[in-house]
Structure 1
């Protein structure tokens, strides 16, 4: 059989990374489990093609799709599927020599438990085409119930030997299940080869938090309880459950979003300075934050459910599953003792946003009387990090309003990625993390001890959750969330109060 030409990466066009391992990855065979599923269609196949166009794929690579044998496509059908996925969800059209080279790298091999020969043959053929000893990277874009069986298949067939594995969230649903999943993975892959992926951590703004704090002498001295009064991590979603009742009824917003996304952001915001911008050092500091977190108090949690959720097809008419969660988190360490972290996320809310706000303490001396302020919003001393793609950083401060009187008004200093850099340099979360996994850099991936500690922190809430409270679709959640953050206020909606 004639082998398709081996695609080669183009010249790199991305800006330097924070870490030193920013060269092209070594030659790879990438195996996508669930290659015909929604995640691969929307994110993985378009993301891999964008990396290829940007010159960030290995010099020589192959991508092998796999799924159960029932209804499995041929190589030609899988290539057609990939073309359609890239056309619909990609940032570049599937055309030209770049697409021809990428398409030629695609093949398919079905795999079922105990019947994985088509996949084995496809991997052998891909490795023979590359020559040498290419790395293997397995991406488990499959439902959580299939994680263990896929990992066992990789171990039983010998495919796992020397390879790395990307595991999608959720990483368990409680402490016991997280420990069982980690044990099953570690029976085949040691922790240095496990990449638990959270696309939030692949956003440019996460790396930029590190740059903001540790590369600028202006901010790190302020990054503590002496100068910061409170922190908010706000990730509202405008969409509802979009027909995923079966998944959502078994998971809920807290398990789906807070443990796997918002707590991870909290770890980056609250960490101590690492000794180096490397995987082990960064994850060590995150783990210290997680171990400093107090167990969640159900009295400091609001669970909500949007009106109409129980009418969704497949939802229990008496469901107590939360579609919204807001909570107060405490961290018992020198840097953050006494500073509340307020977290909020949910479905069917007023906007879709990804925002972290650090509220700065007011000056001790009130040189300016309160009535000198042109705004009564109380939002004048803040640092706002927007994690939306590609993101921005806003410093909110008070300035003198022009005129004869000493009258204050609020103003913004804004850094915006979109207007500051060329758009072609941006990598979406999955693209960034796929690249780092090929490089073997675990800095932006979750470690097993961190996962287990977060489920331990969550145990009091999971054991005794407060009842769900209704909220209207298009609102910002149940009314009781205002009492949760008092004496502060939610920084979304992002509307300035009018003068009194």
Structure 2
């Protein structure tokens, strides 16, 4: 009999010993694309993995215009899991999950259906379950949903997951945080960045702080420069309505790449707990120099202005590369190069640390070799499941002292069984239920990132055209000189 091989992903998953308290999880925006692609399939995977609470209910919500009944919501969930999930929606596990689903519409002026659905879910769970709200709603609806949760009392004691964007500049970020803090104190706010839920981000912490081989050299004395590179091969995929008002810098650099920089550059925390990790990451942000527009390249792929909904003279960047500097003892004088963009040659997720050359270079011939110029690197590929590659020079076989580039590779998929692996959203939803903010961004950190971005936002350089399928505008070579971009040559 034919079987669905998606079952194999989670068959052996077992609880980690950190089960959340009983919960009522409310998805605001449950009929939207994020809920369909990530949240509902992710919650079912957590259920199959034994990582949801012992007793739980999931309430979907949306404006009355998009309202559905319980049975229709369950059918939508089944279709979402069938298309985007890692396990087929069938068997006793699906039946139990499906029975935990219900729906309650909510408009700012009429939250009664949602109130009734949450109260009914709480009765079904029994006792005093926690509430977790996931705001998978457009930015324009954010304020009204938060105020509604506060006015109805649903926010009392609850936690809230907030999707990006976390503002578009310093002023809007402050307004957003003020809106949140009027209803939820900071300890109950979980600003979600799916990049930080990847296994490889945790692996950066393990690599640094669990190994005496690396931490002693993780500083300006030994590291020449750092690159954080997240090129995307896809274009804007018809999302001009969102992208025209955002651009790559706001969408990717502030939200994702700066957060990765915080983990790469932080000082050793006093403990691996949320407070210590966030404090050290925020210290990095406080040490960032304000961005210099002269050290930024903004690009726009050829054909972008022909996309439906894009202004004919649009100056929105689909590509951004910049040099960032950190004024602290560990990193003074070490440039961090960040790059991300649409319609590039490949989709990759890389952090690369390049080490300084030895003070006495005996093998001078290697200095002119392009491969040698990209040796002495530690490259962390944080695309799931990820790998770590150390590149160095070694003697080639033969009578002459001739050097060649060698590699040592740690492949996450080949080294560990993947039965316990969680996708980024699954990992972060679980951490939010547990109340662990380690992998979530703070209000102070977000505000500081917008603060250092102010010079660029006020005086951005003009966009430069680049060919789709390339690595961006040619001027990025000037930005990184005298160094080289690890991609595309450093595989």
- TM-score (norm. length: structure 2): 0.96
> Match of 1:278?
273
Give 1:373 deviation, angstroms.
Answer: 8.3
Alpha-carbon distance in 2 for matches of 1:199, 1:68:
25
Give 1:495 deviation, angstroms.
Answer: 4.9
Q: 1:30 to 1:15 in 2, by over 3 A?
A: closer
Check whether the contact 1:233–1:343 (CA below 8 A) recurs between aligned residues.
yes
> Match of 2:466?
471
Selected match of 1:443 from 423, 438, 449? 438
Counterpart secondary structure, 2:98? helix
Tell me, yes or no, if structure 1 residue 330 matches structure 2 residue 330.
no
Alpha-carbon distance in 1 for matches of 2:331, 2:143:
38
Tell me, yes or no, if structure 1 residue 227 matches structure 2 residue 222.
yes
Alpha-carbon distance in 2 for matches of 1:118, 1:465:
47
Tell me, yes or no, if structure 1 residue 13 matches structure 2 residue 13.
yes
Gaps of 5+ in 2: 1-9
Q: 1:440 to 1:282 in 2, by over 3 A?
A: same
> Match of 1:254?
249
Check whether the contact 1:374–1:407 (CA below 8 A) recurs between aligned residues.
no
Give 1:278 deviation, angstroms.
Answer: 0.5
**1:291-440 counterparts in 2 under 5 A?**
291-371=286-366, 376-440=371-435
Give 1:265 deviation, angstroms.
Answer: 0.3
Counterpart secondary structure, 1:145? helix
Counterpart secondary structure, 1:277? coil
What is the root-mean-square deviation of aligned Cα atoms in Å?
1.5
Check whether the contact 1:135–1:163 (CA below 8 A) recurs between aligned residues.
yes
Alpha-carbon distance in 1 for matches of 2:62, 2:19:
29
Check whether the contact 2:233–2:469 (CA below 8 A) recurs between aligned residues.
yes
Give 1:369 deviation, angstroms.
Answer: 2.8
Superposed CA deviations along residues 187-226 of structure 1, whole A, max 9, x for unmatched, are 0000000000000000001111110000000000010000
**1:116-135 counterparts in 2 under 5 A?**
116-135=111-130
Alpha-carbon distance in 2 for matches of 1:297, 1:374:
32
Select between 240-249 and 373-382 the one with higher mean Cα deviation. 373-382
Alpha-carbon distance in 1 for matches of 2:363, 2:325:
32
Give 1:12 deviation, angstroms.
Answer: 8.4
Counterpart secondary structure, 1:232? strand
> Match of 1:58?
53
> Match of 1:4?
none
Tell me, yes or no, if structure 1 residue 176 matches structure 2 residue 164.
no
Superposed CA deviations along residues 443-493 of structure 1, whole A, max 9, x for unmatched, are 000000000000000000000000000001111000000000000011111
Superposed CA deviations along residues 75-125 of structure 1, whole A, max 9, x for unmatched, are 010001001111111111111111111111110000000201110011001
Gaps of 5+ in 1: 1-9, 17-21
Check whether the contact 2:378–2:388 (CA below 8 A) recurs between aligned residues.
yes
Tell me, yes or no, if structure 1 residue 195 matches structure 2 residue 190.
yes
Selected match of 2:147 from 144, 148, 152? 152
Check whether the contact 1:372–1:406 (CA below 8 A) recurs between aligned residues.
no
Select between 400-409 and 296-305 the one with higher mean Cα deviation. 400-409
